[in-house]
Structure 1
């Protein structure tokens, strides 16, 4: 077993700390990755990243779905967004996804996007698969045009609630692309000792993480520290089951990074100390399945 790679998530990074955070994340070109979205940091994440990415040209994943106030105004004016979708604050229509991909390229200062996630399709008004059909249609066209390498689906609770499943997403991508060789290659979901449903399933080779891994997809684990709350919820005795030599935050990160099938842990770290602590944790050997299962069993019993 190997641990997942560490990537920088920009959802909670302080704007003033973003430049240095990217520089730290880019220090190891073999594993460097930045994850962002047009609505992060009140719509400023991508423009703030652009000049830093010139100096540190690492892979970036971004998203389509949630609307910022300015994007809503501009897309409605352009005819790419209906007034109804604008009122909902979330859209995955084919015209809007094309429009947002173009804006993402402009804001990030790139002619080509590495990976675009359809962001929380469970928020759509109606059947999420119908919304995703529209999104996948646009994203497959973007890959055909050479402006995108691959796409994915990012969700908070879509797999837990049953609104989404990996086999259904794969089948939808096949239908849209007209071939098994589609460009749906990643999922992003919360994986932590708190958000542990998919985690526990993966230990038994089941659930969305295992299914995505079987297809060869990347699996991005978001919120591995549950928005910073997990270190306050976990106990020293509990994390000792993971590794007695690590701090509580490190043990929580190593547990998530050891989940079979997870390929990347996304951490919003604004300080050098937090990033260094995370790097040190993920350099440890992966935690075997038996102690991981015991930790989750203890938490489930509380």
Structure 2
């Protein structure tokens, strides 16, 4: 498959151990956020990244970790109301948090995502809010040498708050043709099959991303571990004979057109090895993907 297995630290209890395990097994990218692991994820990754300088890392800005609220208010990056809300995409906060993330990680991140912008933006003000956030991220890229930024969303695409052409249009307005908007992160799984179904019909965010050369990070491929119970053995056999139910689910995500990285949160060596086997295998055919959509729906 063309998709790569990538460590996502959202559900990792021991981020450093999980990162060492994943990178020892060949993972080249780690995805994190300031609010993961109760605000400790970036700091826990710093030692691992220092040990493995070739490993790339993405982080996020949006959710405000509890351990950063007071400092953010003191610096003027946050108002008390914004800190209480727990999510902010103001240019001042983006600038402050990106700088803080670099300090916590001990290095410049390779990619910064706007984290679930739908928490701060409604349909009516999405364009203006995203424009201002993209402008802040372009400036942060210039200031810190960050190569790329993107949007990580749970429901932004499915709720119609934005689509990829809109994001690309805003990025071009902000940064010109040389803008640094280069990635999206969204759930793609047998629970979240709508992007896959759309792609099989030649439309939707995955097709748009592939056409524009935008990286797609597929989050929650096992939906917090619920998927193995959802896929019956006969469906797993249909997807890929001899696979476990978890491997079958991961094969669906990794075979989705346009997906570049599959984010897996685990600190278990056996789970990582099984996932790597599933993702490294040959891609499922469009016919198999269509049958999965027919069985499970969207």
TM score, norm. by length of structure 1: 0.94
Q: 1:125: Cα distance to partner?
A: 4.9
Whether 1:143 aligns to 2:131 is no
**Match for residue 174 of structure 1?**
172
Q: What secondary structure, in the 3-state scheme, does the structure 1 residue paired with 2:130 have?
A: helix
**Match for residue 266 of structure 1?**
263
Check whether the contact 1:117–1:154 (CA below 8 A) recurs between aligned residues. yes
**Match for residue 6 of structure 1?**
5
Check whether the contact 1:152–1:185 (CA below 8 A) recurs between aligned residues. yes
CA, structure 1 residues 182+125, in 2 after alignment: closer, same or farther (shift >3 Å)?
closer
Q: 1:183: Cα distance to partner?
A: 0.5
Check whether the contact 1:6–1:279 (CA below 8 A) recurs between aligned residues. yes
CA distance in 1, matches of 2:86, 2:189: 28
1:154-203 CA-to-partner distances (Å, cap 9, x unmatched) read 000111110110000000111111x1221000000000011111121112
1:275-300 CA-to-partner distances (Å, cap 9, x unmatched) read 00101111210000111110111112
**Match for residue 130 of structure 2?**
132
Task: Give the counterpart of 1:33 among 29, 34, 37.
Answer: 29
Q: Structure 2: give runs of 5+ residues left out of the alignment.
A: none
Q: After the TM superposition, which of the residue ranges 197-206 and 180-189 deviates more from structure 2? A: 197-206
Q: 1:28: Cα distance to partner?
A: 5.9
CA distance in 2, matches of 1:130, 1:147: 25
Check whether the contact 2:193–2:297 (CA below 8 A) recurs between aligned residues. no
Q: What secondary structure, in the 3-state scheme, does the structure 2 residue paired with 1:75 have?
A: helix
CA, structure 1 residues 39+146, in 2 after alignment: closer, same or farther (shift >3 Å)?
closer
CA, structure 1 residues 12+176, in 2 after alignment: closer, same or farther (shift >3 Å)?
same
Check whether the contact 2:21–2:267 (CA below 8 A) recurs between aligned residues. no
1:28-86 CA-to-partner distances (Å, cap 9, x unmatched) read 66x51100000001101111111111112210010000011221211111011122322
Check whether the contact 1:3–1:285 (CA below 8 A) recurs between aligned residues. no
Q: 1:239: Cα distance to partner?
A: 1.6
Aligned pairs, how many?
295
CA, structure 1 residues 88+229, in 2 after alignment: closer, same or farther (shift >3 Å)?
same
CA distance in 2, matches of 1:88, 1:183: 29
CA distance in 1, matches of 2:103, 2:21: 24
1:5-37 CA-to-partner distances (Å, cap 9, x unmatched) read 00000011122xx333212322366x5110000
**Match for residue 189 of structure 2?**
192
Whether 1:105 aligns to 2:102 is yes
Aligned-pair Cα RMSD in Å: 1.4
Check whether the contact 1:25–1:33 (CA below 8 A) recurs between aligned residues. no
CA distance in 1, matches of 2:209, 2:295: 27
**Match for residue 217 of structure 2?**
220
TM score, norm. by length of structure 2: 0.95
Check whether the contact 1:118–1:132 (CA below 8 A) recurs between aligned residues. no
